[in-house]
């Protein structure tokens, strides 16, 4: 029987050890949405898949379809986001973004926009000049928008005009324009409050990395 080989572009969302040396990974891909795949011997120190199967790794993955799962043969990683290894807090922001993307996405769905949002957001937290709390609020709101669940601006909230403008900008702008602005401390405070309200109301999910973030801050 001829094996079917596939090539996908995506980011590793999650890694789980399997057996003594293998890994099971979850990849958010351009072509197939979210998929799971096994990486044989990926935990051996000399394996060519050691770094490629870590969370945040973005690039091209060559797979073959086995009877019950996909299997990674090789990977060509274009961005490991190594900056996150040097900044513990930013790394947990990134892990939180991975968790939200894992929560929202499905196999065989068109998840290109969520992948683009995730990639640009991880890039943003690697830049020291940008405020991580602002990036988080933008990511939370835009993820809800991308997945078709944005409920509009709550009518029972009194918000600054600048905050309302910022929310509308996040909703209407392309991903590439999301992390090109800053806001006042007053607007940031309101954005954090409103994005938390959206998350608790719409996602209704316990994110482990968010609990750690909240304890750290």
Please check whether residues 70 and 104 belong to one and the same domain. Answer: no
Please check whether residues 31 and 114 belong to one and the same domain. Answer: no
User: Which pLDDT belongs to residue 121?
Assistant: 98
**CATH number for the domain harbouring residue 115:** 1.20.1440
Domain count, the chain: 2
Please check whether residues 174 and 199 belong to one and the same domain. Answer: yes
For the question of whether the overall pTM of this predicted structure is more than 0.85, the answer is: yes
**CATH number for the domain harbouring residue 35:** 2.40.50.140
Please check whether residues 70 and 113 belong to one and the same domain. Answer: no
The vertex-162 CA angle with 199 and 185, nearest 5°, equals 75
Please check whether residues 61 and 42 belong to one and the same domain. Answer: yes
User: Which pLDDT belongs to residue 51?
Assistant: 94
User: Which pLDDT belongs to residue 2?
Assistant: 55
Please check whether residues 128 and 69 belong to one and the same domain. Answer: no
Residues in a beta bridge with 6: 63
Please check whether residues 179 and 101 belong to one and the same domain. Answer: yes
Domain final residue pick, 79, 112, 131:
79
Please check whether residues 114 and 198 belong to one and the same domain. Answer: yes
Please check whether residues 101 and 59 belong to one and the same domain. Answer: no
Residues in a beta bridge with 22: 18
Residue 69 is part of which domain span? Answer: 5-79
Domain final residue pick, 18, 50, 79:
79
Domain final residue pick, 29, 58, 79:
79
Question: Which own/partner pairs from 148-155 qualify as long-range (CB within 8 Å, at least 24 positions apart)?
Answer: 149/202, 150/198, 151/198, 151/201, 151/202, 153/194, 154/194, 154/197
Please check whether residues 119 and 203 belong to one and the same domain. Answer: yes
pLDDT tens string, the chain, 217 residues long: the values are 456 789 999 999 999 999 999 999 999 999 999 999 999 999 998 999 999 999 999 999 999 988 778 999 999 999 999 999 899 999 999 999 999 999 999 998 999 999 999 999 999 999 988 999 999 999 999 999 999 999 999 998 999 999 999 999 999 999 999 999 999 999 999 999 999 999 999 998 999 999 999 888 7
């Amino acid at each position: 029987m001829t094996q079917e080989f596939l090539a996908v572009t995506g980011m590793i969302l999650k890694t789980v050890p399997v057996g003594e040396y293998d890994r099971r990974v979850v990849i958010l891909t351009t072509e197939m949405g979210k998929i799971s795949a096994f990486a044989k011997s990926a935990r051996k120190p000399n394996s060519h898949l050691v770094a490629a199967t870590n969370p945040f790794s973005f690039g091209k993955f060559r797979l073959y379809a086995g009877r019950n799962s996909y299997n990674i043969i090789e990977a060509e990683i274009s961005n490991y986001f190594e900056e996150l290894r040097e900044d513990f807090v930013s790394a947990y922001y990134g892990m939180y973004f991975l968790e939200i993307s894992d929560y929202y996405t499905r196999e065989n769905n068109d998840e290109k926009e969520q992948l683009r949002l995730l990639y640009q957001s991880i890039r943003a937290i690697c830049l020291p000049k940008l405020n991580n709390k602002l990036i988080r609020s933008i990511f939370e709101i835009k993820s809800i928008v991308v997945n078709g669940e944005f409920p509009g601006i709550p009518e029972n909230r009194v918000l600054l005009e600048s905050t309302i403008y910022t929310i509308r900008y996040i909703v209407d702008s392309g991903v590439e324009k999301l992390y090109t602005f800053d806001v006042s401390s007053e607007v940031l405070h309101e954005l954090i409050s409103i994005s938390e309200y959206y998350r608790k109301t719409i996602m209704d999910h316990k994110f482990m990395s968010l609990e750690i973030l909240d304890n750290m801050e």
